[in-house]
Amino acid sequence: MTTLPSISVGIATIGSRPELLRTSVQSILDQDYPGSIEVIVSYDHVEIDPLDDLIIPEHRSLVTVTNTHPRGLTGGRNTCIDAASGELMGFCDDDDYWFNNKISAQVALWQAHPEAVAISSGMTVRSGGQDIVRLAPERATFDDFLLSRITEIHPSAMLYRREDLLEGGLIGPVDEDLPAGYGEDHDLLLRATRFGDVLSVQESLILVLWDRPSYFAGKWDSMTGGLTYMLQKFPEFERSPKGLARIAGQIAFAHAAQGNRKDAFAYARSAISRDPKQLRAWAALPVAAGIIPPATLLKAVQKTGRGL
């Protein structure tokens, strides 16, 4: 990576946040990076907004396409990968924002460490009218991602080599078999770090709006399906008791919220036997027993700026 690589950025959208989408796209087009950047916006089987009111600077391009893969985020991102021409591939949620030095800082780090499989950065979380900076670890390995999803490494911060994300590539495309696409970002990071580490620029380079409800909020069946699939797909979780307990605890809570008491108690026991301090598993117990509604505990967790 001795010369400036071309950059492609994919945004998968359902078109429901047109103003935020425009802000997101413009923040990418306005990067201070001197190399070429193309933005591909994939519309998920809805009418395409051409975004022709945006200002497109020199060495920038904007493409709007229809998702040609299965509906959802995974298909939308794979459509962007298919349509991209850049050497490096990034993604951005349609309501996130890139600070103008993001790509320059990340490419500089990658040029200094060409052995990295992907590059991330810190982020600024906007929640409750406050901006909170969260820095990602300088280096994250496969075992790190077994232990934790590492929420500071956000999908909108990532840069990959596009060739690695193609069918048959080192990592492969986003997994469209994940139930409801739940956990697709964690799955991609696990597959990537089998071949190298993720390095992160030690400053905030993106803005993430945390006040909006999660797409998966209350979709407990999607959580149980996606997380169970992940445990089956990555048997290496067995070598990370705390990491396995974390996911088992999440599954336990989701089953509890659905009223699946037997499954909730089984996953909670499995989690606690591996990590007695696994709070998600303990939280699942009173929910499964009908003592506390799941929404009460979720509100308490959301105030910390973290998910379940």
pLDDT tens digit sequence for 142-197: 999 999 999 999 999 999 999 999 999 999 999 999 999 999 999 999 999 999 99
Alpha helices of the chain — where are they, by DSSP H? Answer: 18-29, 73-83, 102-112, 142-147, 162-165, 184-192, 220-233, 241-257, 261-274, 279-288, 294-302
Residues 6+ apart with CB under 8 A from 260: none
| Residue 28: Cβ within 10 Å count | 23
| pLDDT averaged per 10 residues in sequence order, the chain, 308 residues | 88 95 98 98 95 96 97 97 98 97 98 98 93 97 98 97 98 96 96 98 96 64 96 97 97 95 97 96 93 77 52
Give the DSSP letter string of 140-180: E-HHHHHH---TTS-GGG-EEEHHHHSTTSSS-S--TTSGG
In angstroms, what CA-CA distances link 140 with 63, 126, 144, 151? 33, 24, 6, 12
Q: Strand, helix or coil at 35?
A: coil
Q: Strand, helix or coil at 229?
A: helix
- What Rg, from alpha-carbon coordinates, does the chain have? 19
Determine how β-strand 60-66 pairs with β-strand 88-91: unpaired
Tell me what pLDDT residue 126 has: 94
Tell me what pLDDT residue 55 has: 95
Q: Which residues of 243-274 are buried (b: 16+ CB within 10 A; e: fewer)?
A: bbbbbbbbbbbbbbbbebeebbbebbebbbeb
Tell me what pLDDT residue 2 has: 59
pTM for the complete prediction? 0.92
Q: Residue 148: CA atoms inside 13 Å, Cβ hemisphere, count?
A: 12
The answer to whether the CB of 289 falls within 8 A of the CB of 255 is no
Tell me what pLDDT residue 301 has: 55
In angstroms, what CA-CA distances link 114 with 106, 174, 277? 11, 23, 38
The length of the chain, given as a count of residues:
308
Tell me what pLDDT residue 295 has: 80
Tell me what pLDDT residue 302 has: 53
Tell me what pLDDT residue 108 has: 98
Tell me what pLDDT residue 218 has: 65
pLDDT tens digit sequence for 29-40: 999 999 999 999
Query: Tokens at residue 185, please?
Result: 């970002």
Tell me what pLDDT residue 211 has: 73
Tell me what pLDDT residue 216 has: 46
